[in-house]
């Protein structure tokens, strides 16, 4: 069976697809539509920033995947142009520049919320690796079992990544909320001595940052592993390598914050930061969730893979 040729002009559809990507790029903070993100993250109240950083991104990624799978499958060919090949290349470009620019700009940030904003841009780039892996193994004579597996892995990897990213970012911003309420500062340098002011707060921050960096046993390790594995399965080995290199760059600025928390000294080292019962429960629940997803990721991933497979049945 060959892919049907639609008697349409490809140019308007390509332009429409690009404009749709502009809208999605704005929602997920992908470069070059990311300019609003650092200012909003820094300027908005921290609880609002936490909500924006996870809710809109996760929902937009889900809608983007569903849109591309339903509207531009491999069978959609216009004047010899396989539309799936076009949007895959577009996603790959957005993934590479989002990862790279997000991580490079995060290196020089002094405000913890701005740093997490650029981190969020880089995280969008990692997630787009999973979306680029969807349907890349389709053939013009029909979908093979291998292509179906590759496509489902891409969807499942993105689903797991957004699931773990939600808990991870909420954990990091929960610590920032508590810290800023106690000190009135959002500077990374003012996190100095946090381990001596409240060891549990420092531990929660460390778990959140290690998860964002992709270090085990936090959930981010398997989140990135599933994304990179989906890329390799889809024949995008070079894109997985770019993702790994970017993860190494990102590790530096996450570890700098951890170093500040545990090593650097501050004039308020002896001033404790108290936790009430509510905040303690929030930190405990999110910390345990991030660690649990890192130690036992298979249950959530298998559920996501089973659900993703129904999209290509």
> Each residue of 250-297: pLDDT tens digit?
999 999 999 999 988 878 778 888 888 888 898 999 999 999 999 999
Q: What is the 3-state secondary structure (H, E, C) of 292-305?
A: HHHHCCHHHHHHHH
The pTM assigned to this predicted structure is 0.89
Tens-digit pLDDT profile for residues 156-196: 999 999 999 999 999 999 999 899 888 888 899 888 888 88
Q: For residues 295 and 222, what is the distance between their CA atoms, to the nearest angstrom?
A: 9
Model confidence pLDDT, tens digit, residues 83-107: 777 888 899 999 999 999 999 999 9
List the 77-78 sheet strands across, edge first. 5-6, 77-78, 81-82
Domain map (residue ranges) of the chain: 8-312
Lowest mean pLDDT across 6-15, 24-33, 303-312: 6-15
């Amino acid at each position: 069976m060959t892919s049907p040729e639609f008697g349409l002009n490809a140019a308007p559809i390509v332009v429409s697809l690009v404009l749709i990507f502009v809208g999605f790029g704005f929602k997920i903070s992908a470069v070059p539509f990311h300019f609003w993100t650092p200012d909003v993250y820094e300027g908005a109240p921290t609880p609002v920033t936490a909500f924006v950083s996870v809710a809109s991104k996760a929902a937009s990624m889900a809608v983007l995947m569903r849109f591309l799978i339903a509207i531009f499958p491999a069978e959609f060919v216009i004047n010899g142009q396989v539309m799936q090949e076009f949007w895959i290349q577009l996603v790959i470009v957005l993934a590479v520049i989002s990862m790279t620019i997000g991580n490079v700009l995060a290196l020089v940030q002094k405000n913890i919320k701005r740093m997490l904003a650029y981190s969020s841009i880089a995280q969008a780039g990692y997630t787009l690796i999973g979306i680029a892996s969807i349907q890349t193994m389709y053939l013009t004579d029909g979908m093979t079992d291998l292509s179906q597996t590759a496509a489902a892995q891409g969807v499942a990897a993105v689903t797991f990544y957004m699931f773990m990213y939600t808990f991870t970012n909420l954990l990091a911003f929960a610590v920032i909320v508590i810290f800023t309420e106690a000190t009135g500062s959002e500077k990374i340098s003012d996190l100095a001595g946090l381990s001596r002011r409240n060891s549990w707060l420092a531990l929660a921050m460390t778990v959140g940052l290690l998860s964002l960096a992709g270090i085990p046993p936090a959930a981010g390790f398997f989140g990135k592993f599933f994304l990179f594995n989906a890329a390799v399965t889809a024949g995008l080995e070079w894109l997985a390598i770019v993702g790994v290199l970017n993860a190494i760059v990102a590790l530096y600025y996450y570890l700098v914050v951890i170093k500040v928390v545990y090593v650097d000294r501050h004039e308020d080292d002896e001033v404790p930061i108290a936790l009430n019962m509510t905040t303690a429960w929030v930190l405990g629940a999110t910390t345990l969730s991030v660690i649990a997803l890192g130690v036992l990721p298979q249950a959530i991933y298998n559920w996501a893979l089973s659900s993703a497979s129904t999209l290509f049945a």
